[in-house]
Amino acid sequence: MSEKITNEHTVWHEPTVHQKDREKMNGHKNCILWFTGLSGAGKSTLAHAVEDNLHNQLVRTFVLDGDNIRKGLCKDLGFTDDDRTENIRRIGEISNLLMQAGVITLTAFISPFIKDRQLVRQLVNEGEFIEIFCDASLEVCESRDVKGLYKKARTGEIPEFTGISSPYEKPENAEITLNTDEMGINDCVEKVIEYLMERGMLDNLQ
Amino acid sequence: MSEKITNEHTVWHEPTVHQKDREKMNGHKNCILWFTGLSGAGKSTLAHAVEDNLHNQLVRTFVLDGDNIRKGLCKDLGFTDDDRTENIRRIGEISNLLMQAGVITLTAFISPFIKDRQLVRQLVNEGEFIEIFCDASLEVCESRDVKGLYKKARTGEIPEFTGISSPYEKPENAEITLNTDEMGINDCVEKVIEYLMERGMLDNLQ
């Protein structure tokens, strides 16, 4: 006779599969690669380029960015200070879940406030939150202005635009700093991959 | 000379790694296994048991349940109708992200309202949302009362408790129905795994 769920001895809700089991299966450790910086500093470009490199090494990855967050999970949020903070809080929580699910999670959000980034760091274990500062000058970002946002910020069409009318608080102790005024994409990607390798994050890849 | 991010020809934000690429790497397709039913119907127990079985077959999985959602992403939400709907909406959005990240996502929430479950179904492609109705009678669920919640609902200590003072809307066309009054855990797990195999979801496992 098969055991019934009604049998009190078979009632259990605790997970039997943990992050460590997934890391073993996948052959790599998990972490959050948190890209932060001004609009136009290269966050999204670099997150996707690093993902591409990792995927080719059979690493499980996922990029969270405005495209898949603002249109979905956070579509109820605007751009007030409170909403920005709630936005980053939710992104932190999902990043944590994705990481537990065995995925190296790359996030590409301006995330201008130190306290919000700190909050995400505190959600996870030491070494699992890797802050990557895309350090570009306002001048260079504004001159790129890929999406035409700086122009709108200067005319006041977009209020509270980071770097123009709202502050960007630089990371004080980012794990990795990429000077994207000077460095090319390949060099930036290499620096991130080297960081992961030096810490044994990719050690058991087949 | 390495390419600069400032070079307009190298600016790209589109993902180069897609769900299909991850499915190919992992050797299985992705979906959301959405367990629904009364408190005590076996949702969480079964979600973890199915995960355990899949993990042993080298399938990438993750369970979302009250434990990792209500304490984290949805800790700002209560139990009003609006908050319940928002809770399920967010769970749907995360499930979708986890699925795109290459993970078979199992969710274990009462999710009593048809319209809320329908909303999640509409987020994803056809065949990716697999509704699993844990069909247990109120009598059996109440007699188990693992967490003592039914007792509190009967005394009114918990208001709006599904099945007692708030409705549970049964699925009309669930992909899988498990009569957990009668079936044992192993039989339930087998039925879910068979469903996935028949649809070729696990076809390329090594």
A2–B187 CB contact, under 8 Å: yes
CB-based burial, A114-132: b 16+ in 10 Å, e otherwise: eebbeebbebbeeebbbbb
Q: How many angstroms separate the CA atoms of B66 and A43, rounded?
A: 33
Q: Give B 148-177 residues with CB within 8 A of chain A.
A: none
Q: How many angstroms separate the CA atoms of A25 and A41, rounded?
A: 35
Note whether residue B6 is domain-resident. no
Whole-number Cα distances in Å, A60 to B29, B98, B128:
15, 12, 20
Q: Is B165 one of the catalytic residues?
A: no
Note whether residue B185 is domain-resident. yes
The two tokens of residue B100 are: 């795109």
Measure CA of the first residue to CA of the last residue in chain B; give whole Å.
42
The complex's ipTM works out to: 0.90
**Which residues of chain A are within 8 Å of residue B4 when distances are taken between CB atoms?**
184-185
Other Cβ atoms closer than 10 A to A172 = 8
pLDDT score of A13? 63
pLDDT tens for chain A, 206 residues: list them: 233 443 333 344 678 999 999 999 999 999 999 999 999 999 999 999 999 999 999 999 999 998 889 889 998 898 888 888 999 999 999 999 999 999 999 999 999 999 999 999 999 999 999 999 999 999 999 998 888 899 999 999 988 899 999 999 999 999 999 999 999 999 999 999 999 999 999 987 75
- Among A39, A44, A95, A111, the active-site one is A111
Whole-number Cα distances in Å, B137 to B39, B107, B185:
11, 21, 16
Q: Are B106 and B196 in contact (CB under 8 A)?
A: no
Note whether residue B7 is domain-resident. no
Interface residue B107 vs chain A (CB under 8 A): no
pLDDT score of B159? 86
Interface residue B111 vs chain A (CB under 8 A): no
- Find the closest chain B residue to A66 by CA distance: B13
List, in order, residues 6 or more apart from B170 with CB less than 8 Å away: B133, B135
Note whether residue B3 is domain-resident. no
pLDDT score of A3? 38
CATH of the domain at B107: 3.40.50.300
- Percentage with pLDDT > 70 across chain B: 93
> What range does the domain containing B170 cover?
18-198
Residue of B2, B3, B6 to mutate when probing chain A, most A C-beta within 10 A: B6
Interface residue B139 vs chain A (CB under 8 A): no
Which among B46, B101, B140 has the least Cβ separation from residue A103? B101
- Find the closest chain B residue to A98 by CA distance: B98
Whole-number Cα distances in Å, A81 to A13, A64, A75, A150, A158:
38, 21, 16, 19, 14
Q: For residue A31, which amino acid is it?
A: C
Note whether residue B2 is domain-resident. no
pLDDT score of B206? 58
**Which residues of chain A are within 8 Å of residue B23 when distances are taken between CB atoms?**
none
Q: Residue ranges of chain B with pLDDT lower than 50? A: 1-12
| Count of domains for chain B | 1
Note whether residue B206 is domain-resident. no
Alpha-carbon dihedral angle through residues A108, A114, A120, A121, given to the nearest 10 degrees: 110
H helices of A40-184, in order, are: 43-56, 66-68, 81-100, 114-123, 138-144, 149-154
